[in-house]
Structure 1
Amino acid sequence: MTTDITMPAERLEIAGFEPFSACDWPGKFAAVLFLQGCPWRCTYCHNYSIIDAKKPGVIPWEQVVHTLTQRQGLLDGVVFSGGEPTRQIAVVDAARRVKEMGFAVGFHTGGQYPKRIESLLPLLDWVGLDIKAPSEKYEAVTGRAKNHDNPMRTLRMLLDAGVDVQVRTTLDPLTLTEDDIVTIRDEVTALGVTDYVVQRVRPDGTNPEYAQALTQYRRHTANGVETIVPFG
């Protein structure tokens, strides 16, 4: 049984809100909440501007509720994204209220907080879980995490609970190799994952230093790892 503490949805720090998306939950029309703050500093983060956990949110929860009320029957669900949405305690109450409004609940997460996922399990319909790298390269990608223990614990928890999971890896060609992708794929499929997707890294929204390094890589590497690995 979880012992996670609670906090009302009104305390949620929301950095952005997309009232309609057809690409953030496969096969679903969803609204997307981008929550402020993340404990990691991933090299390729395309939401670099909202990873500072000390910054307050800019969109009140009441505005989200008002919009969702108007879209009942038009949207399939609501996706909590970030930043890292499971960092915020208030997300549990927010997900519960979304569910009570009749929407399915989805999350984009790096799996940093398995305890928060445990609190959310009864509410989850779908999770897009990022497995960033093989365990020994997690610090190189995230700048913080020493290994992938928490993300893999999160994955096992979701699979055991029967939650629909898509595991994704963003292929940072400056850090990962083709062998790394094969290692991740084999590890997660051995656990029972049937939906594994490799994503091409995007320079938009990343920090300027990384965007410049990626541009230089692509300019000088005609047959790099990005052209070898198939993308989902």
Structure 2
Amino acid sequence: MSALISSSAGTMADRELKVGGYARFTSTDYPGELAAVVFVQGCPWRCGYCHNPHLQPRDVAPAIAWRDMLAFLAGRAGLLDAVVFSGGEPTLDPALEDAMRSVKALGFKVGLHTAGIYPERLKQVLPLTDWVGLDIKTSFEAYDEITGVSGSAQAARTAARIVIESGVPYEFRTTIHPKLTTPRHLAALVEQISGMGCETYALQDFRSVGCRSQDLINSASEGVLHGELAGQVKSRFRQFTLRQANG
């Protein structure tokens, strides 16, 4: 994920999106498009490998008021193709739908990064979304071990079905850490999501940037996604992407 650019905190109305930071420019967060990324503050899950843990708390002052963020984006109209709402978990914010409408009114495509934590809210904003990146953590049986929240798999499974059935272009992606997602977990997950009809999938190596778990950093190893394992996964999907830590 691109580096965050923060501004001085200020008071923000409840109706405005709570922005935890933003990236001015990225070519990797929305496939094939040049985009800005808006990082929404707040996430109820506590994944150990999270690279934006500072965005997990909701009760902090915004990095920039949404009205100022929108003014910045208006100045980028015609220079960028899209705006991606990331996080944190953007569907946590009740102002997400209005924020998406405002961005579309400026002529941008709308991208969304989500873990599917709130399936009904996700369903509500999908008609405004042009592309979705859905984080699928691991096999559904092992979900709670990564998220730290009981019953988290049910939300993720429901969200996966909603995205597939929506017709909105998407990518499911899974971050692999050798201590958290074993080949057994991955094999089960591939069966689960391919059985749902998922056609676009990405595997990505754990990256230590931003991670606060020294144990996970110390136990990480480069090249976990070696050729044989990646090849077995690739064969199950129409479109497959492998993102290695050193890539």
Decide which of 191, 201, 210 is 1:186's aligned counterpart. Answer: 191
**Secondary structure in 2 matching 1:148:** helix
Question: Structure 2 vs 1, CA of residues 145 and 101 (structure 1 numbering), >3 Å: closer, same or farther?
Answer: farther
> Paired residue for 1:67?
72
Q: Is 1:15 the equivalent of 2:17?
A: no
Separation of aligned partners in 1, 2:121 and 2:23? 24
> Paired residue for 2:219?
217
Separation of aligned partners in 1, 2:71 and 2:205? 35
Decide which of 163, 167, 170 is 1:165's aligned counterpart. Answer: 170
Q: Would you say the 8 A contact 2:17–2:96 is kept in 1?
A: yes
> Paired residue for 2:100?
95
> Paired residue for 2:180?
175
Separation of aligned partners in 1, 2:202 and 2:121? 24
Counterpart residue type for residue 144 of structure 2 = E
Q: Would you say the 8 A contact 1:109–1:128 is kept in 2?
A: yes
> Paired residue for 1:34?
39
Q: Would you say the 8 A contact 2:131–2:170 is kept in 1?
A: yes
Q: Would you say the 8 A contact 1:24–1:30 is kept in 2?
A: yes
Percent of paired sites with the same residue: 39
Separation of aligned partners in 2, 1:148 and 1:115? 15
> Paired residue for 2:110?
105
Question: Structure 2 vs 1, CA of residues 170 and 115 (structure 1 numbering), >3 Å: closer, same or farther?
Answer: same
For the aligned residue pairs, the C-alpha RMSD in angstroms reads: 1.9
Q: Would you say the 8 A contact 1:9–1:93 is kept in 2?
A: no
> Paired residue for 1:199?
204
Name the count of aligned residue pairs. Answer: 219
Shift of residue 215 of structure 1? 3.7
- List runs of 5+ in structure 1 lacking aligned partners: 1-7
Residues 46-68 of structure 1 show CA distances to partners (whole Å, capped at 9, x for unaligned) of 00111111112111112221121
Q: Would you say the 8 A contact 1:36–1:56 is kept in 2?
A: no
- List runs of 5+ in structure 2 lacking aligned partners: 1-12, 231-241
Separation of aligned partners in 2, 1:215 and 1:38? 22
Separation of aligned partners in 2, 1:9 and 1:130? 27
Question: Structure 2 vs 1, CA of residues 56 and 127 (structure 1 numbering), >3 Å: closer, same or farther?
Answer: same
> Paired residue for 2:146?
141
| TM-score, with length taken from structure 2 | 0.83
> Paired residue for 1:85?
90
Decide which of 108, 121, 126 is 2:126's aligned counterpart. Answer: 121
Separation of aligned partners in 2, 1:175 and 1:158? 25
**Secondary structure in 1 matching 2:57:** coil
Shift of residue 98 of structure 1? 0.8
Separation of aligned partners in 2, 1:63 and 1:206? 29
Residues 148-197 of structure 1 show CA distances to partners (whole Å, capped at 9, x for unaligned) of 11112112112212011100011121111112112212221222221111
Separation of aligned partners in 1, 2:85 and 2:104? 12
Question: Structure 2 vs 1, CA of residues 80 and 145 (structure 1 numbering), >3 Å: closer, same or farther?
Answer: farther
Q: Would you say the 8 A contact 1:19–1:67 is kept in 2?
A: no
> Paired residue for 2:4?
none
